[in-house]
Amino acid sequence: MAFNKWFKRAKRSHRVKKTYRSRKTYRSRKSYRAKKSYLARWFYRNKWFYRVVFLSIAVIAMTVGHLYKSITSTIPLDSVETFEVSKGDTAYSLGVKLSEKGWVEYPFLTRIVARLNPEWVPKVGKYAIEPTMNLLDVMALFDSGQSIFYSITLLEGKTTQDFLSAMAARGNITMTLTGMSNEEIAKTLGLAFPHSEGQFFANTYRYHEGDTDASILKHANDLLVQTLADLWESKVADLPYKSPYEALVMASIIEKETGVPEERPLIARVFISRLEKGMRLQTDPTVIYGLGDLFKGNLTRKGLQHSSPYNTYRVYGLPPTPIANVGREAIAAALNPGKTDALYFVAKGDGTHAFSKTLSEHNKAVREFQFKRREDYRSTPVIAK
């Protein structure tokens, strides 16, 4: 009996739980169907909203794609073109300039690139734009400051004032030293010696448009100092120079006397021998330098009598400063002179010189080459083309 009662109660309890679970499942399914039906109706009623959203996303995607293509496509050029970034230019103003040239489609593209790369800052200068570049490349180029290089050749044998005139003639170098004396230039540039003559290495120099004459000459001075120091270390023994500066003075005289490379060491030896023997150098270029504006193209007897520390017909030893700027070859000749017993030389008229051991030989050469000058007389040799 007891078992039967227990069994009936358990069976009844099981039916109740089963019914409860069935009702709960039914209610949840009914609720899900109701929600599903509500969402379907909501979507249906607001279908235009979703169409607008979809179209907006599509338009934005197409716009972004078009802008990306415009930024990354190469600029329509057939050859390298020049573009100038001026002082005060902004990303947008650069975009306007590029757009006016037809190189970019929209001016604001440069502003987009600038926003994507806030560290990029355009540098003033002229730039070479190549056909393979896109807008990103162009803006990166402006940031790099790698603008177009120009070059100027400062020739051997020219004075500091000649160098300034050559730079002024280029028209794209900022002139800051015009009108200054050699002493003022030396002070302004902080040179090692108080007179600027001869302290600039004759060479070809690269510069950007707008660079100053001072920056170019400072570079030339650095190169001169380094070259002189290097060659001084390898000089021959028993030279009469007390300092590298005196060797530079000698190099400037050699530079002015001849443009023939193989003659430089010989002329250096002639002058060194004269110094060692206590003879005056008696070289025309130093006298001409001392005359300055008084020299009218022909060295006269009066000019040879002019009182000047550069008149080596009257004073002994070297002049106080170089008389011109020089190249490496003249310095090398002054520090490594050739071998000759000659004490004199005279221009032959074809750009070369006749060397003599004695004064009588020299006077004979002077009569031959100077007193009877030919119509084709030249102070420098003809260079074959």
| C-alpha–C-alpha distance, residues 180 and 188, integer Å | 9
| Tens digit of each residue's pLDDT, the chain (385 residues) | 555 554 556 555 555 444 444 544 545 555 545 555 665 666 666 666 666 677 778 777 776 766 677 788 888 888 888 898 988 899 999 999 998 998 888 888 888 888 888 888 898 888 989 999 998 899 899 888 888 889 999 999 999 999 999 999 999 999 999 999 999 999 999 999 999 999 999 999 999 888 999 999 999 999 999 999 999 999 999 999 999 999 999 999 999 999 899 999 999 999 999 999 999 999 999 999 999 999 888 888 888 889 999 999 999 999 999 999 999 999 999 999 999 999 999 998 888 999 999 999 999 998 888 766 544 444 444 444 3
State the pTM of this model. 0.72
Degrees to nearest 5, angle at CA 271 with 270 and 273: 65
DSSP H/E element including 206? strand 204-208
CB of 315 closer than 8 Å to CB of 280: yes
Write down the pLDDT at residue 45: 64
Q: Is residue 75 part of a domain?
A: yes
Q: Cα separations (Å) of 32 from 27, 43, 44, 132, 348?
A: 9, 16, 18, 61, 117
Do residues 82 and 63 share a domain?
A: no
**Domain membership flag for residue 326:** no
Please state, in angstroms and rounded to a whole number, the distance separating the CA atoms of residues 141 and 80: 14
Amino acid at 105: E
Residues 9 and 56 in one domain: yes
Q: Is residue 308 part of a domain?
A: no
Same domain, 58 and 119: no
Residue 78 sits in the same domain as residue 140: yes
Q: Are residues 128 and 90 in the same domain?
A: yes
Residue 86 lies in a domain: yes
The CATH number for 91's domain is 3.30.1490
Residues 62 and 123 in one domain: no
Do 76 and 136 belong together in one domain? yes
Q: How far is CA 55 from CA 49, 50, 68, 69, 350, in A?
A: 10, 8, 20, 21, 87
* Tokens 């120009």 sit on residue: 150
Q: Is 349 contained in some domain?
A: yes
CATH number at residue 369: 3.30.160.60
Per-residue pLDDT at 125: 85
Q: Are residues 97 and 58 in the same domain?
A: no
Pick from 144, 164, 187: which residue ends a domain?
144
- The answer to whether 343 and 270 are in contact (CB under 8 A) is yes
pLDDT value of position 58: 75
38 and 26 within one domain: yes
Q: Is residue 208 part of a domain?
A: no
Residue range of the domain that includes 352:
341-385
Q: What pLDDT is attached to residue 146?
A: 83
Instruction: Give the H or E element holding residue 121.
Output: none
Residue 136 shares a structural domain with residue 88: yes
Same domain, 55 and 75: no
Run of H or E including 122: none
The rounded distance, in Å, linking the Cα atoms of 222 and 347 is 34
Q: Residue 198, Cα to own-chain centre: how many angstroms?
A: 23
Among 278, 255, 273, which residue's Cα sits nearest to residue 344? 273
* Kind of pairing between the strands at 353-356 and 344-347: antiparallel
pLDDT score recorded for residue 184: 97
Domain boundary among 48, 68, 88: 68
CB neighbour class for 179 (10 Å; exposed up to 12, middle 13-18, buried from 19): exposed
Give yes or no for a contact between 110 and 98, defined as CB atoms under 8 angstroms apart: yes
Count of domains in the chain? 3
| Residue 272 located in a structural domain | no
Question: Based on the domain organization, do 58 and 13 belong to the same domain?
Answer: yes
Q: Cα dihedral angle (84, 90, 96, 98), rounded to 10 degrees? A: 40
Q: Classify residue 207: in a domain, yes or no.
A: no
Distance between CA atoms of residues 27 and 240, nearest Å: 119
Which domain-ending residue is among 144, 167, 193? 144
